[in-house]
Structure 1
Amino acid sequence: MLQDKWSSLWLRAGGRANGWLRPYERLLMRYAEPHRRYHTLAHVRHCLREFDAIRDLADHADSVEMAVWFHDAIYDTRAKDSEARSAELARNVLDVGGFREEFGERVAELIMATSHAAPPTFNDAALLVEADLAILGQPEAVFDEYERGIRREYAWVDDASFAAARAAALESFLRRPVIFAVHSLHDAYEAAARANLARSIDRLRRGEIPA
């Protein structure tokens, strides 16, 4: 059960015994915001499953898991600082919850890596980022539904502007020498991700907008 997973993480990582429920409920409310289509609690669940499979590779596994929970807690498609605001939210919640300052800072640093502005630069960030990007390597139907969800989250953007910006974002991943550096994720997702990205970019360049 998701609530049990959260409370276990909270207590194991050093939070106050009576402090886990309210932050959990507030996170659920955030991930249920009506403007979200892809960046919902289902996305968090998927990231948690992906991370569970590679957890043993982490240097600070609880920090990565906590970052999964918070990494899209603030999601505003009209702003460019959602990751920074999510990181600050996590830092504040964890501070009030009684966690060590070092833990909160590490979680915040990990969240910033999910801006995907550049490939991750340290091990735990790579694990988080690649769990977050696992959607790219899913079967075509799942990936296409993801693309439709992103389009709906940016419904306020006109088709031409969306197509140009989305194609550029996807191309930034396709240009990377390696999308998935973690061996198990590379084997599972790299080829499919590249095929999905190329297919979606081609559609966008031809004016086919996900709907």
Structure 2
Amino acid sequence: MATTEAHHELHDSLLSRWAALLVSARDGAQDPDPYPYGENLLARWSEPQREYHTTEHLLHVLNRVDELAPHSPGADVDAVLLAAWFHDAVYRPDRSENEERSARLAELALPEAGVSEARTAETARLVRLTVTHDPEPGDAGGELLCDADLAVLAGSPEEYARYAAAVRQEYAFVPDDAFRAGRADVLRQLLGLPQLFRTPYAQEHWERVARRNVGTELELLTAATDE
């Protein structure tokens, strides 16, 4: 019962945040009704194949955008928040085109919902950036979204362990050896980046912890492979 109640509370909270965002993003216009669009997005984020890319992840990214936004001058924060809503709206763990399909969904839905062509284009551009999490220097919106999306790497050891376990559950159809090899490649790529985070705030507060977490996971995967 408690779990069901918590789910409903999260759903209602996110739906209210979506409605307020959409009204702001379309410069205060009241039509069309924002709630059906929010319900559609939340239904997508609640699909059964998701273990990590869930409404909890969406909430986490939205909260990190809010945390970073005051330190990200020049970003269109409404577009970044819209991109957070859409960045994993289409998600199948066995597909490679999720970000592109999510961006196309934004390009289809947002003009119908009353968002301008320019802000729709910016939202879709930001969604596509989450393929690589590698925005160009000076791309304030891209840096803000990518840092918020990667903030999970800087959680406590317990939070990071839950994140890693959820990722493994999403890829339960992949055999252990293949998963360990693929996941290790991803982690090495992350550790090979000059910086995991681009905004000064995230670099100061999250970089060291994130590298420690990623390095620890890589060590564990390597040890399991060597057994």
The alignment yields a C-alpha RMSD, in angstroms, of 1.3
Contact 1:16-1:97 within 8 A present in 2 as well:
no
Aligned mates of 1:54, 1:196 — CA distance in 2 = 21
Aligned-partner Cα distance in 2 for 1:174–1:31: 29
- More displaced 10-residue stretch of structure 1: 199-208 or 92-101: 199-208
Question: Is residue 2:223 matched to residue 1:206?
Answer: yes
**Structure 1 letter corresponding to 2:197:** F
Residue among 44, 48, 63 paired with 1:34: 48
Equivalence for 1:125: 142
Alignment of 1:130-169 (within 5 A): 130-169=147-186
Query: Are 2:39 and 1:25 equivalent residues in the alignment?
Result: yes
Aligned: 1:6 with 2:11: no
Partner in structure 2 of residue 176 of structure 1? 193
What TM-score results when the alignment is normalised by the length of structure 1?
0.94
Aligned length: 207
Cα deviation for residue 16 of structure 1 reads 5.1
Deviations 1:168-203 (A, max 9, x none): 111111111111121221122111111111111111
Q: Percent identity?
A: 32
SS at match of 2:115: coil
Q: CA deviation at 1:35?
A: 0.9
Contact 2:87 / 2:103 at 8 angstroms: preserved in 1?
yes
Give the 3-state SS of the residue equivalent to 1:207 in structure 2: helix
Question: CA shift at 1:207, angstroms?
Answer: 2.0
Cα distance in 2 between the residues matched to 1:16 and 1:97? 10
**Per-residue deviation, 1:19:** 2.8
Counterpart for residue 51 of structure 1? 65
Instruction: Answer whether contact 2:100 2:128 (CA < 8 A) is retained.
Output: yes
SS at match of 2:89: coil
Structure 1: 5+ residue stretches without partners: none
2:147 maps to amino acid: E
Give 1:74-153 correspondences, 5 Å limit. 74-116=90-132, 119-121=134-136, 122-153=139-170
Query: Per-residue deviation at 1:27?
Result: 0.9
Q: Runs of 4 or more off by more than 6 Å in structure 1?
A: none
